[in-house]
Structure 1
């Protein structure tokens, strides 16, 4: 079996986030989402070079409205997906993340275990919030 050139390749499918955590640098770039067609083209181009892609650079991938299509395209190309999220949208996206084209790995990027002002409407520490990963633990 031929060894791939890169261990993983990062693909930024969206450059917007639903938080404003102090550890993330700000950007003046216009807000943008990668189209499904753009992702399909990129997935085909990177497949010869890696088995793993990471859907995280500067944005929150769970905000992408066509994430299901993107995961399906990655799966069709034999790419294993690692996804990093701030976890805010997990309650509404967990079914998608547990489906047939589920990511290989989901990493949670948490700002703090203490109450933080960057999450509107959440005043409890993250670790004391009601469990937001109901299906992942079964």
Structure 2
């Protein structure tokens, strides 16, 4: 049964540019402009009309956008929850300007070992992550550590938990790696590794969407009976001010927005393509967390019930449930 029939999340790519070269990502390879404040303001107002609750300002590395604080302020003043994930390289020098503007701030950390983490990220950023955690906490922020889980770094979870997240009072978010397009991690987690990950996810201060585990055990999305609701739950906006459908990773079609996002999303052409979510040949076996998370949340299924405890756990610990209940946004002002 479908519970929510409007999009709830926007993945807003402020730029594809990145100052890292992660081995499991190809976004940084793309040339890219930066979104403009004028375009963003028009789009955010239309996203509000469409029922979106959360804006994920993403990239690339979102902190490369020099007006990220202004973008976040626009979103906050319209009543959105905001989220940003960073490799940490630019956070310490921008932390004060970002203070209070990010509801869900994630720093990527994939190993307790500096060399292993830096090798996977293609740049020396381990020390910057630790400094970012220190600076954020000093400013009263509550960042999370986002740990992308592969077979080769699973053993590092314990020490990251014991030595970094628990002593600093942070949530450890477990993000099982996924493959897409030409990007292949080559490390599908085994059943035994999924068992370990599932058990780890039940610890205090750890967030793991159990639906991700179940979906992997089931072989991912199946086009004959799709669980993916990428296009109807998540709007993807590119740095070129385009609506990308059915999801970023497929990017079958891109529609210029031209300050008409509300009308564009409700147009027959966009809705026709959105109806193919999870049913295209490339969707077979997909486990992309970015789209499965909102997909699990909008209709009852076994994945909904498996995802629900971790979702409630995260929102309770972060306090974001209070903002989801807020009805009246503050007056618009970006100073």
Scaled to the shorter chain, the TM-score interval is: 0.7 to 0.9
Structure 2 partner of 1:131: 131
Once the two structures are TM-superposed, the CA of residue 111 in structure 1 deviates from its matched residue by 4.7
Distance 1:75 1:27, change over 3 A: closer
Structure 2 partner of 1:55: 57
- Supply the RMSD in Å over aligned alpha carbons: 2.5
Residue by residue over 1:119-138, the C-alpha shift from the partner in whole angstroms, topping out at 9 and shown as x without a partner, is 25x6xxx2797532334224
Residue by residue over 1:56-79, the C-alpha shift from the partner in whole angstroms, topping out at 9 and shown as x without a partner, is 1x4111110111110111122111
Structure 1 partner of 2:47: 46
Distance 1:78 1:22, change over 3 A: same
The answer to whether the aligner puts 1:16 opposite 2:17 as a matched pair is: yes
Structure 1 partner of 2:123: 119
What is the DSSP-based 3-state SS (H/G/I as helix, E as strand, rest coil) of the residue aligned with 1:47?
Answer: helix
What is the DSSP-based 3-state SS (H/G/I as helix, E as strand, rest coil) of the residue aligned with 2:56?
Answer: strand
Structure 2 partner of 1:104: 103
- In structure 2, distance between residues paired with 1:8 and 1:22: 26
How many pairs are equivalent? Answer: 129
- In structure 2, distance between residues paired with 1:4 and 1:47: 14
Kept in 1, the 8 Å contact 2:107–2:129? The answer is no
- In structure 1, distance between residues paired with 2:129 and 2:86: 16
- In structure 1, distance between residues paired with 2:33 and 2:40: 13
What is the DSSP-based 3-state SS (H/G/I as helix, E as strand, rest coil) of the residue aligned with 2:137?
Answer: coil
Residue by residue over 1:95-118, the C-alpha shift from the partner in whole angstroms, topping out at 9 and shown as x without a partner, is 12214xx11111122354431242
- In structure 2, distance between residues paired with 1:128 and 1:16: 19
